[in-house]
Structure 1
Amino acid sequence: MTLSNVPAVRNSADGSSPVVLDRREGPYGEVVLRRRGPHGDSSHAVYEIIANGCFLMDTADGRSERLLVDAALAALPADRPAPALLIGGLGVGFSLARAAAEPRWGRITVVEREPAVVDWHRSGPLGTVSAAALADPRTEIVLADLVAHLRAPGPRYDALCLDIDNGPDWTVTEDNGGLYTPAGLAACRERLTPGGVLAVWSAQPSPAFEQSLRNAGFAGVTTEEISVARGVPDVVHLGISAA
């Protein structure tokens, strides 16, 4: 993701305007898929997801989304067999593609609440990122609200990689704020196996969230950074559940 104060209307480097490929009313408002780049040149196309007029993410980079998965795996014991992974938010697919490219992961569950986003991957242009991962037998897509999914009874995971907001301090919808409260973090902890990893993507560091993780009983709380061209770095906040 990227900070949501980026204007939803902007021109590409070649001066062309973004092209709207699909616009839908979803369960949480309007979602839009757009393409940027030279007209007629799909090899240099950048795809964007806009929600309720707010720029959320695009396919221009993806390093921090891949770090989200890599950092979680690195924090797990190397001898843990086939760890189960939950990815919160399908987005443009970078985190899922990274996970499916790693044979060490076992079950890979992706929770996405917008049917349009799933469609854009299964039968639309975002399949260029995720097609191989979606075909992987380890992958399961769950169409649900992440907060509700984590609070409901269900299987435990060895890692939760969550990227549904611009960070704990900048949520996409008001309802998402519950994920970062003591009750929300307790729900995350309950869905983790002993020694499991919670990894949370953020468009900026949040010392307050680091403390919230410690207060919620997570150990080994750290923050990993990815530099960006402008502004503060993207980060991944990490915490380990009690063994």
Structure 2
Amino acid sequence: MNPEEVPQLIAQIALADPRVKRENEFERRAQVLMWAGILADVPYDYALKAAHEHYAQSVWPILPADIATRWTATVRDRMNRHTDPTPIADPDDEAAWRAELLATRHSVVTGQVAPAPLNELTASPSDEVQERLDRIGRYLPDEIGEQIARYRPVRAERERLARAGQPDPLDVRCDWCRAPAGEPCRQGKSLARRRSPHPSRIEAAAAAPKGQTP
């Protein structure tokens, strides 16, 4: 909540409970500063709704801690029901990956999007997806794999594509750099691994019949 919104919030609450609003100018400024500090992370609309719910059940004056406590409980509940979906950003771009992840969490926390249920993300994969995952050669439990995904971006990206049912360029041989199936593309004569497959390899994977590896 912006500090400028706090006086408006207090004025709205005072319509139901005049005891909340301070009459003394010095006390009023101090009250605004105090409420602004305590409710810094709480959206204005949520704070007003929390006040409505408070006075629907209590005759006692509301305190900023009452609103902040409700907000903390709401955030905890939303995040307990949420499992981070895999970002679509380039997994080799750690800054973009992290930014997308944080943006998604912020949207869930603030109620802009619903939490992503765990059961939808961890349901058993289809036979085709499982076959692709087996071909990649998974050897770690899912929860461990998720924690170290940023240290193994190529494998993490292949698993993401498999679960999303999208073509995996590493399933096919690269005709540009001659990298065999299962290995990343190479960068020129240095043979260093590229961050992303060559465009021709991506096109070849997209054109390959399902279940077949050229």
**Structure ranking higher on relative contact order (CA contacts 8 Å, 6+ apart):** 1
More strand by share: 1
Q: Please give the TM-score of this superposition, normalised by the length of structure 2.
A: 0.25
More helix by share: 2
Q: Please give the TM-score of this superposition, normalised by the length of structure 1.
A: 0.23
Rg larger for: 2
